Structure 1
């Protein structure tokens, strides 16, 4: 897969305040990349630099191999974006708004506008004035203008704002379609972590103007990787003793009414078998799925501790 977006050691300061302290990452064709962080982490500043609204003080940003500072027009030629709330002309219809955006690109056919209207679920309302649109409909139209050129890079800032559950499901479908069929690289910044987990395959956790970690949202299922299981049993002491003797157990934590075990991937049937051999009554046995919220809180709490220590 080719690299669509490459960010290398980018820094940004305003006066003496350092907002971005040197971030580096890349997004490939067909990859859906989530950019997560608390308020003040520099997410909006980063996006504004990606689309050329502000310049970094150091580092490079390349889109399809073109440096955005040296070849801005070429770099942005195949970029579609929603930055914050999309600007629309309320006195024009949805179709007329898309036509205005199409004129800026210069090579959009009428048929593409019809395709986009259907894709974003506004086919029946595309000829209505935008001032009559709900917030969710305006968000859909904003996504539509970003899709007009079938962009190789799709940049979305809080894209599900105002969308109802159906709209959110449509958003997921559209993003996956662009990634799979158009091989677009998709960069999404959002505070709705559950949505990011649903649609992204990679996430960057940011805090204090730095990227703290870049991780896959898909579970690593290779040999030697860890899985966490919850075991509910009336025989906690015997179960703990049995589990402690097994070589494929990484960690055991006893809680009030259950045991949490980190185990080698694929060994859960062996655990059940060993517990049964020791006559441990297993009431419940299920896999724990760690959420982005859990990981996000780990990053934020560590950042807060580091700030407190350095004060």
Structure 2
């Protein structure tokens, strides 16, 4: 068995002269939560549709759960649960009845998983209400319950937290992690950077149809050479001017009740640079209360990469 749940090489999809995806090389390890991260229109849903056979690539190759696509699609999709954009249901049927309709197209065991799936997504008490009375968030949860009926090895979820309130998003995060703990793989397509960072083990950043970075969340957030520190000092205005004039500081601005200093690219990489800045402040009569290194978030890295591409 391959260690990869999803593998693409040179995958592309064009609509006339427009490239929705171009030369996508993607590796999604089994048993992980993997974020496919990009702005709206970046190509995320196009990738999901290609993997599920809802669209045909114009170039490249795909493998899903060890099966070459399109030849092995039937075998692969038998163990794949998916939500593409907003999940659709028969509005006049109850949540349970909708799952019964879906289970009828699956193997016989799918019917026996309905109650457990509804309970797992928090819809046990509303299972016999008609879907037209469900909120968008409830329909999203019913969509995930539908995914679970095939006992999936892989879940492909396209913007799954749309419509969920903060409590629902937290429940979804715990659900994804519990699925991964069971050995399943979750591909989470999203434009919500903070949620991907909190939920996923690894991610790929896509922009303008291309993957611009891929790796673990730790690797992605550590890719930038930019080093930043936050300093709380008084008087803040004087401290900002002193730091901005230091040769080892590229930029210093007041930020969130303190000063955020971005170090120059050629500044020393050990603690000596921080010590020299503190010495300079103290020598100028500035009282320093606190110094903290700033850990770059996935959002910082994403914005840095996509802005760089736009300005290239």
TM-score band w.r.t. shorter chain: 0.7 to 0.9
1:304 aligns with 2:304: no
Task: Answer whether contact 2:214 2:220 (CA < 8 A) is retained.
Answer: no
Change in 2 beyond 3 A, CA 1:228/1:189: same
Residue by residue over 1:96-149, the C-alpha shift from the partner in whole angstroms, topping out at 9 and shown as x without a partner, is: 111222222213254421111111000101111111211111111001101222
CA contact (8 A) 1:68 1:76 kept: no
The within-5 A match list for 1:21-36 is 21-36=22-37
The 1-side partners of 2:138 and 2:301 are apart by 32
TM-score, normalised on structure 1? Answer: 0.83
Output the CA distance in 1 between the equivalents of 2:92 and 2:239: 68
Cα 1:215–1:3, aligned 2, differ >3 Å: closer, same or farther? closer
Contact 2:13–2:59 (CA under 8 A) maintained in structure 1: yes
Normalized against structure 2, the TM-score is what? 0.83
Separation in structure 1 between the aligned mates of residue 287 and residue 50 of structure 2, nearest angstrom: 58
Partner of 1:162: 163
Uncovered stretches (5+) of structure 1, i.e. residues with no partner = 307-311
The answer to whether 1:282 aligns with 2:288 is yes
What SS is found at the alignment partner of 1:9?
A: strand
Alignment of 1:136-285 (within 5 A): 136-181=137-182, 183-218=183-218, 228-233=228-233, 234=235, 236=239, 253-256=251-254, 258-260=259-261, 271=274, 275=278, 281-285=287-291
Q: CA 1:220–1:54 in structure 2 vs 1: closer, same or farther (change >3 Å)? A: closer
Q: Which runs of 5+ in 2 are unaligned?
A: none
- The structure-2 alpha-carbon separation of the partners of 1:127 and 1:265, relative to structure 1 and needing over 3 Å to count, comes to farther
Alpha-carbon distance change, 49 to 254 in structure 1, aligned in 2, over 3 angstroms: same
Kept in 2, the 8 Å contact 1:10–1:56? The answer is yes
CA-to-aligned-CA distance 1:56-105 (integer Å, 9 cap, x gap): 11111111110121111012111111001111111211111112222222
Deviation, 1:154, is: 0.8
Deviation at residue 290 of structure 1 after TM alignment: 2.2
| Deviation for aligned residue 1:276 | 7.3
Q: Is the 8 A contact 2:203 2:214 kept in 1?
A: yes
Aligned CA distance change for structure 1 residues 295 and 119 (closer, same or farther; 3 Å): same
> What's the CA shift for 1:237?
8.5
Partner of 2:5: helix, strand, or coil? strand
Name 1:309's counterpart in structure 2. Answer: none
Aligned counterparts of 1:265 and 1:103: Cα–Cα separation in 2:
62
Deviation at 1:272, TM superposition (A): 6.5
- Output one character per residue of 1:182-218: Cα deviation in whole Å (capped at 9) or x when no partner: x122111112222122111222111221111114323
Distance of 2:53 and 2:298 partners within structure 1:
30
Alpha-carbon distance in structure 2 between the residues aligned to 1:132 and 1:264:
61
Q: Which secondary structure does the structure 2 equivalent of 1:99 belong to?
A: helix
Q: How does 1:33-44 map to 2 (within 5 A)?
A: 33-44=34-45
Contact 1:33 1:186 in 2 (8 A): yes
RMSD over aligned CA atoms reads 3.1
Find the aligned partners of 1:32 and 1:169 in 2 and give their Cα distance. 15
**Structure 1 range deviating more: 116-125 or 33-42:** 33-42
CA distance in 1, matches of 2:132, 2:220: 47
Instruction: Give, in whole Å, the separation in 2 of the partners of 1:44 and 1:237.
Output: 45
Question: What is the number of equivalent residue pairs in this alignment?
Answer: 297
